[in-house]
Amino acid sequence: MFIACEASFEELYPEETLKLKMRGNDMGRKTLLKGIGEEALIKGLAAKFPSGHPRVIKGIGDDAAVIAEAGGKALLTTTDILIEGTHFRREYTDAYLLGRKALSISLSDIAAMGGIPLFFLTSIALPPDTEKGFLDGLYRGLSDVAFDFGALLIGGNTARSGKVMVATTVLGEASAEEVVYRGGAREGDDIYVTGATGVSALGLKILKGRGLGVLRKKTRAGRAALKHLDPTPRVEAGRALATGRLATAMMDISDGLALDLKRMCEESGTGAVIKVDRLPVADELRGGQATHGEILDLIVSGGEDYELLFTARGRDSGRIASLSRRLSLPMTAIGKVTEKSGGIRFVHDDGTELEIRRPGFEHF
């Protein structure tokens, strides 16, 4: 957690400083976060706070921090926050489902590293006029997900706020040699995705238009809305891919397939070619009023699916297919890792490239 920093903007963000100077900007003026961008913000902080401790195997820049423990084990630590008005609105978010989602998205980070969840902490900020029933429902949601995945609540904090905010910190564990990072993809590896993407983004759109009432019917629309409100962290799949030494790189898809693939390739120093016509299309995306182009946009750029994006050696395709059947979870090969100079391309079977107008979600 970054509480305070006395460093100047120039020290934290040297690349952005140079860009601003080249554009003739006055550095004495206020610099806005939206002018920096989320990626540059994180890179700047990582540069200012290097992970120099001998026990820090991986600090800023992956789904979870990795700390060396005795006996060849590694402690995995991740944190997330859901803020009313930014990540959800109470008119289409049930308190119980909010609690479930708050913990699930952090568990998804542990899954992406191939870990086992152990403990979690939660900090909750609420307006003083919040009904106690809302808080009870929220904690019931946290408790149910914690029970499902074997995580134990060990602490947290409460505070008064003008908006509802729920922060979760999850501690997990894995053998240090089994942890899977974003930066392990190599040229020639296959690129896989679990499940299907785009459903959560569709669900959010439906909830905004129709509210929570859509959940009462087991329609495609209702299922899409529920997937947005109650994502499933792929803990078992992530663990199996790690212990079986099947995944060479892995991360969860939280901000959109195209954007998260870009992050994986940057960490790995590679490029990628995605076969658009191999991208899995969930049943919830079919049979509606969306055009083919709109469906592709949801699949490629929609966020908050919390599926796993991973790479694997071609020789392991059979083992991955067997794992997919055993877990009853689709694991679809959607492309290949290429050399960095090739960039990241989404290509149709006829050779035409898909134009990515919006790769995914960024806060700034």
Structure token pair of residue 138: 């929220």
CATH number at residue 196: 3.90.650.10
3-state secondary structure (DSSP) of residue 10:
helix
Inside any domain, residue 134: yes
Residues 113 and 26 reside in one and the same domain: no
Inside any domain, residue 364: no
Residue that finishes a domain, picked among 116, 146, 175: 175
Inside any domain, residue 19: yes
3-state secondary structure (DSSP) of residue 19:
helix
Structural domain harbouring 221? 182-347
Residues of the chain with pLDDT under 70: 1-28, 289, 361-364
Residues 169 and 206 reside in one and the same domain: no
Side by side, which strands form the sheet with 307-312?
A: 249-253, 307-312, 190-194, 331-339, 270-275, 344-347
pTM: 0.88
Residues 155 and 216 reside in one and the same domain: no
| Residue burial 137-150, b: 16+ Cβ < 10 Å; e: rest | bbbebbeebbebbe
Say if CB 316 and CB 246 are below 8 A apart: yes
Inside any domain, residue 87: yes
User: Nearest to residue 239, comparing CAs of 88, 363, 117, 73?
Assistant: 117
The span from the CA of 206 to the CA of 163, in Å, is 23
CATH number at residue 158: 3.30.1330.10
